[in-house]
Amino acid sequence: MITNEQAAKMFEQPTIEAIPTDMKRIIIPAYGFAGGKDTKREEWGADGPFMEDVKGLEFHNPKDNGNQVLKARDGVLICYDAPGRKEKIDSYLEAHPNTFKTATYVNDFIDYMKKEVVNQGGKADLWDSDVNFAAGLVGAPAKEDIVPGKTFTGAKKKEAVQAVLLPEGAVFEGAVGQPQTADKGGAYLIKDSAGMRMIQKEEFAKAYSITKVPNTRNRQRDITD
């Protein structure tokens, strides 16, 4: 397993640099539900990452074999946009107006998302963030207009990120108790103002454009242990 400390050292060496493309994310404000459990979630502050105590709902992301924590206070669900996805989501929410009333209903919705909306070859890709992140996307509504059940799409701002390519099967420690695994073809470990996280190679190719690659002599080795 690549620990957070080892990952941080990887970014002290020459790394790949990239910027977000205009690929849109679908944002599903999903907070306010009852029945959340006391747990911890990694957050990124002025002094780096820390574990915050939250009340929320933990769910599994099959794509990177990692766990996510949807915060009951201000959590949002995110998936990449694709033809028909937002329409399916909005149709479900219209038919199930109580989706964000309880953790049980939210979990039912997450199961639906995994099976019917974001299932890619049997490995769904769905993760969490919060209203602050969502409000910072290009095309997002005003923060006060981001309310549960009112979905929208937005693209990340053109903030440069550092990236390191990891081989298939590599495991990144990530948040406490929430490691991520590189899927088929490998994955990128990326670092920006939001912290360090893993993104699968296929999704990285859609969501980021590489602007700089270290020269061959100084290029980082893949981490294989």
Nearby residues of 131 by Cβ (< 8 Å), 6 or more positions away? 29, 31, 74, 76, 143, 146
Sequence spans of domains, the chain = 4-21+158-212, 24-155
> What does pTM read for this prediction?
0.79
- In the predicted structure, residue 151 carries a pLDDT above the cut 80: yes
Task: Read off the pLDDT of residues 3-52 as tens digits, 9 standing for 90 and up.
Answer: 988 998 999 999 999 999 999 999 999 999 999 999 988 777 666 667 88
What pLDDT is stored for residue 36 in this prediction? 96
Task: Read off the pLDDT of residues 167-225 as tens digits, 9 standing for 90 and up.
Answer: 999 999 876 667 889 988 899 999 988 788 899 998 899 899 999 998 755 444 443 33
What pLDDT is stored for residue 96 in this prediction? 98
